[in-house]
Amino acid sequence: MAATVFDFSATRKAFEAEIHEAERLNSMSLLQERFMKLSGSETEKKSTLDQAFRDVLKDHIVKESGCDVYLSVISLAVDCAKEGMCLGMIPFLMLDDVFSSVTLDVCETVFQFVEDGVSTWKKEPYYTGGKNYLLRMCNDLLRRLSSNDT
Comparing 9-23, 36-50, 73-87, 136-150, which segment has the lowest mean pLDDT?
A: 136-150
pLDDT tens, position by position, 48-94? 999 999 999 999 999 999 999 999 999 999 999 999 999 999 999 99
Integer CA distances (angstroms), 51 to 2, 71, 113, in order: 27, 17, 22
Q: Is the CB of residue 121 less than 8 Å from the CB of residue 127?
A: yes
Q: What is the DSSP letter of 120?
A: H
Q: Where are the domains of the chain?
A: 8-149
pLDDT of amino acid 35: 93
Mean pLDDT over each residue of the chain, to the nearest integer? 91
